[in-house]
Amino acid sequence: MAEPFVWGHTRRFNDYPTYIKKQFGGRIQKISVNVGFSCPNRDGTKGVGGCIYCDNSTFKPGYCEPEISVRKQIQTGVSFFEQKYPDMLFMAYFQSYTNTYAPVNELRTMYLEALDHPKIMGLIVGTRPDCINPAILDMLKEISANKHVTIELGLESTLDKTLQIINRCHTWSDSVQAITWCNQRGIKVGAHLILGLPGETHEMMLAHAKLISELPIHSLKLHQLQVIKNTQLAAFYKSDPNYVRLFDADEYIQLVIEFLEYLNPKIVIERFVSVSPIEKLIAPKWNQLKNFEIVAKVEKAMEAKNTWQGRLYEP
């Protein structure tokens, strides 16, 4: 048997399922919750229209409607999985839009309602770097004394020019500040990055790996850029297909492997791709490859290349 890597096992990247199993002794299922918040680049506070690629309905289960109470959304999700896995435990995943975009007392009530279910082990809160503040994080620090808490930050890019192009309406310095604030309070940060955004070269995308490797980020989700129907990106793509360079599956897998080689081995990899409903997806379609199939292809290619996460990482 091969010697384990620094993360303690023989898989060639520091994978999230193994981390979760080590922390909780088994599988943890995320239960998505939608509380109907908006985003400051949608409601006019900073901009309108949202991110040019965004359609939140591509990852929202049917039971996640803001008109339904948090408690009922949690119970519906738990009941669905309990039928097949009666011993499974869960995380409440506040996923759609910006889930810290409200006064701190309202957020506290919402989070505690989710945690009231006995099988909910903690919170995962998706938000933007410019929509957290010390008061919100102090409240989450209190919760984290008894429950697992992760803040998922949509960084998307480390380049201000790109963030402006995609109508993100925050800066890279906002991201660094938010990550620093979370770290100061012992709150884990999960980061999101999109590979293939308009104007970004191969070298720029690899530079993202080097930059985030120097920040106290706990976990990472990578997304390939997808063109989704009824988004501003779809309109740009229709008028000029060369507006973005969309990867085929093999190209993207090779890019991910190079990205991983430069990435800090301490960062846990949660996923490599985003899989959108085929009826909403314009491109790239990749013959409807599933997430687990992409993971298997990445691992097989890493083995063939005899490489691993962090091989080229230089602190």
Residues 6+ apart with CB under 8 A from 314: none
Alpha carbon of residue 183 to chain centroid: 18
Q: What is the full per-residue pLDDT of the chain (315 aa) written as tens digits?
A: 467 899 999 999 999 999 999 999 988 999 999 999 999 999 999 999 999 999 866 555 555 567 899 999 999 999 999 999 999 999 999 998 999 999 999 999 999 999 999 999 999 999 999 999 999 999 999 999 999 999 999 999 999 999 999 999 999 999 999 999 999 999 999 999 999 999 999 999 999 999 999 999 999 999 999 999 999 999 999 999 989 989 999 999 999 999 999 999 999 999 999 988 999 999 999 987 889 999 999 999 999 999 999 999 999
Q: Is 169 exposed, middle or buried (0-12, 13-18, 19+ CB in 10 A)?
A: buried
* Cβ neighbourhood burial of 108 (10 Å; 0-12, 13-18, 19+): middle
Query: What would you report as the CA-atom Rg of the chain, rounded to the nearest whole angstrom?
Result: 19
Is residue 298 within 8 Å of residue 256, measured between CB atoms?
yes
Q: What is the DSSP string of 91-131?
A: EEEE-SS-TT-S-HHHHHHHHHHHHTSTTEEEEEEEE-GGG
CA–chain centroid gap for 176, Å, is 16
Q: Which two tokens stand for residue 221?
A: 């989700």
Q: What does the DSSP 8-state code read for residue 44?
A: S
Every domain of the chain and the residues it spans: 16-305
**Letter for the amino acid at 205?**
M
User: Is residue 62 a contact partner of residue 96, using CB atoms and an 8 Å limit?
Assistant: no
Local structure of 62: helix, strand or coil: coil
Kindly report the CATH class assigned to 16-305.
alpha beta
